Structure 1
Amino acid sequence: MAELWGIIGGLSEIRGFQVVWENLPYFLEGALITIEVTALSVAMGMVLGLFAGLFRLSHRVLLRSVAIAYIDFFRGTPLFVQILLLHFGILPYFGINEAFTSAIIACGLNSGAYIGEIVRAGIQAVDKGQMEAARSLGMNERQAMTYVILPQAYKIVIPPLINEFIALLKDTSLVSTIAVAELTYRGNLVYANTYQAAWVWGAVAVIYFIITKSLGLFGDYVERRLKTE
């Protein structure tokens, strides 16, 4: 332990390390905001994605067309452009001017499109005989989907949903462009004041890596548990 503190003491003489050490609490606060934006966006995306995935498979042309248009637009355009379009171009007309809210809406809509495809693929991966068996027992299509298909599909979609959470967490760095004070935004402010590019952005990268690696390990654990059930 004494040797460790000796190393830290030696590093403290380096200007870049000193900048990172002094701003570490500031960075960690930004990391919490990053996680908050991601969690709220994925929660919104899961609701939208569930309906988008179900509508994508609907026999009703209008519902299916709306789902296809939504999924194709948000998967086919850059998230960065979506953030700018919503924050500066659309949401102000609805009285929404706060960057944090705009970030959640933009990321949530984007995430919902990807989750919609995950849900669709998960449902289609369930054996078609399951639906036929449920219908033969007297269930209508909605009951069969709710009580038979979706409970089986969730085991299939959980691992890719965790991957979507990880991908979106990294993509939330884009909301720094509308002044959401998450990790990347704070890193940019510290860099602008200190010009310690390697140390500042290295620290930001390490924090992102720790978060995403932890989520990845959690995803591996969940996947192993699902395989044993």
Structure 2
Amino acid sequence: MAVNDRLVTPKNKNGLQSADEMQLTKKDFPWWMVAIGVIIAATFWLIQVSPDFKDAFEIIRAGLGVTITTTICAYSIAVLIGLVVGLGRVSESVVWRNISTIYVEVIRGIPLLVLIFFIALVLIPGLTTALSALGSLLTDIGLEGIGAKLAAIENKSIPMNARAIISLAITYGAFSAEIFRAGIQSVSKGQMEAARSQGMSHWQAMRHVILPQAIRNVLPALGNDLISMLKDSSLVSILAVRDITQIARLYAGHSFRFAQAYSILCVLYLTLTLVLSLIVKLIERKMSNERK
């Protein structure tokens, strides 16, 4: 029920909500979400009533699985890389810290599109050639079991889908590393000192005391990185990976239905990112409430 300029929400079953939490001012209402919802609904209405839009949607949506799989796989690897490199960025080891810093600075200094080209078309072929040569060497010295397997590796053995995942993972690993570094440094230094005073080693204190708090602090930022990766996954279409961007581009090229193809492509990405954004906001709200 409206009271002046406020919308009052009912109490929860435990009656624990404060008056401020139960009231939502009209100016704070998420009108932007309503507008986006209207755009999405209008597009899907066009899909139902227009044969051209329906045809384009049926073809383009076939790439959703590749887009989602590429994003999830690359992001999972990137988080693992980021955690290791992030620990390296705050490590007491000079060697580990400098290697981690070089990796982060190099990745951050090169455009993502260029990195995808380099990793997929230069780095990975170079590694396969090196592994094949190593396999031949091992075979010559009598280690035929592992040598034969390595020697059989060819450039074509690694499909473009895998190269796309590796490229995104290596790139976003640097971004995730900075998030983890900031999260670790946000934890009070006194907690590390207290843990060390209890007889813990640096690694034990990091594992049992610092990291749990740091990871909790950086969850929203990691969620935003996932959203960014979903959008940047469209760049893997340059490797002929059949994600929704590549399929939309090919469809528009041979049918000349550019409006239909790219309108649907935009709405598909918008829908996916909106869902992820809402999930991130829910996580942020839950964490904020738990801190109170």
TM-score (norm 1): 0.91
Partner of 1:186: 247
Cα gap change, 1:58/1:8 in structure 2, threshold over 3 Å: closer, same or farther? closer
Change in CA separation of 1:71 and 1:9 when aligned onto 2, cut-off 3 Å: closer
Aligned-pair distance for 1:23? Answer: 3.1
Q: Which of 92, 108, 123 is equivalent to 2:169?
A: 108
Q: Larger % of helix: which?
A: 1
One-letter identity of the residue aligned with 2:94: V
Q: Residues 52-89 of structure 1: CA distance to partner in whole angstroms, max 9, x if unpaired? A: 00001112111111101111111111111111112221
- Determine the C-alpha separation between the residues in 1 that align with 2:287 and 2:187: 15
Distance 1:137-1:182 versus aligned 2 partners, 3 A rule: same
Asked whether the equivalents of residues 30 and 181 of structure 1 are also in contact (C-alpha less than 8 Å), the reply is: yes
Counterpart of 1:53 in structure 2 is 86
Return the letter of the residue paired with 2:108.
R
Aligned to 1:21: 54
**How many pairs are equivalent?**
219
Change (3 A) 1:69 1:76: same
Structure 1 Cα separation of the partners of residues 85 and 46 of structure 2: 52
Alpha-carbon shift at residue 210 of structure 1 (Å): 0.2
Which residue in 1 is equivalent to 2:69?
Answer: 36
Aligned to 1:66: 99
AA aligned opposite 1:175: V
Matched to 1:187, the amino acid is A
1:195 paired with 2:256, answer: yes
Decide whether aligned partners of structure 1 residues 142 and 10 sit closer, same or farther in structure 2, where only a CA change above 3 A counts: closer
Does the C-alpha gap of structure 1 residues 10 and 166 become closer, same or farther in structure 2, counting only changes over 3 Å? closer
Residue 11 of structure 1 and its aligned partner are, at CA, apart by 3.8
The answer as to whether partners of 2:191 and 2:209 remain within 8 angstroms in 1 is yes
Aligned to 1:149: 210
Q: RMSD of the TM alignment (CA)?
A: 1.7
Change in CA separation of 1:216 and 1:10 when aligned onto 2, cut-off 3 Å: closer
Matches of 2:261 and 2:82, distance apart in 1:
36
Question: Helix, strand or coil: the match of 1:58?
Answer: coil
Instruction: Give the unaligned 5+ runs of structure 2.
Output: 1-41, 129-153
Q: Shift in Å at residue 39 of structure 1? A: 0.6
2:183 matches 1:122:
yes
Residues 119 and 167 of structure 2 are in contact (CA less than 8 Å); yes or no, is this contact kept in structure 1? yes
Q: Which amino acid aligns with 2:106?
A: F
The more displaced of 196-205 and 158-167 is 196-205
Q: Could you tell me how far 1:96 is from its partner in structure 2?
A: 4.5
In the superposition, the TM-score normalised over structure 2's length comes to: 0.72
Equivalent residues in 2 for 1:152-171, closer than 5 Å? 152-171=213-232
The answer for the alignment partner of 2:151 in structure 1 is none
- Superimposed CA distance per residue, residues 185-206 of structure 1 (whole angstroms, 9 cap, x where no aligned partner): 0100110111121221011000
5+ long unaligned stretches in structure 1: 13-17
List 4+ stretches of structure 1 deviating above 4 A.
Answer: 7-10
Report the Cα distance in structure 1 between the residues aligned to 2:265 and 2:84, rounded to whole angstroms: 36
Asked if structure 1 preserves the Cα contact closer than 8 Å seen for 2:47 and 2:57, the reply is: no
SS in 2 for 1:138: coil
Structure 1 residue 29, shift from structure 2 partner? 2.3
- Matched position secondary structure for 1:83: helix
The answer to whether the Cα contact below 8 Å between 1:30 and 1:183 also exists between their aligned partners in 2 is yes
Counterpart residue identity of residue 22, structure 1: D
Please give the alpha-carbon distance, in whole angstroms, between the structure 2 residues aligned to 1:102 and 1:10: 37
Partner of 1:15: none
Tell me the SS of whatever aligns to 1:59.
Answer: coil
- The answer on whether the counterparts of 1:19 and 1:194 sit within 8 Å (CA) in structure 2 is no
User: Contact 1:96–1:102 (CA<8 Å) still a contact in 2?
Assistant: no
Percent of pairs identical after alignment? 36
Secondary structure of residue in 1 paired with 2:115: helix
Q: Equivalent residue for 2:116? A: 83
Query: Once the 2 structures are TM-superposed, how far is the Cα of residue 223 of structure 1 from its aligned partner?
Result: 1.1
Q: Which amino acid aligns with 2:64?
A: A
Structure possessing the higher radius of gyration over alpha carbons: 2
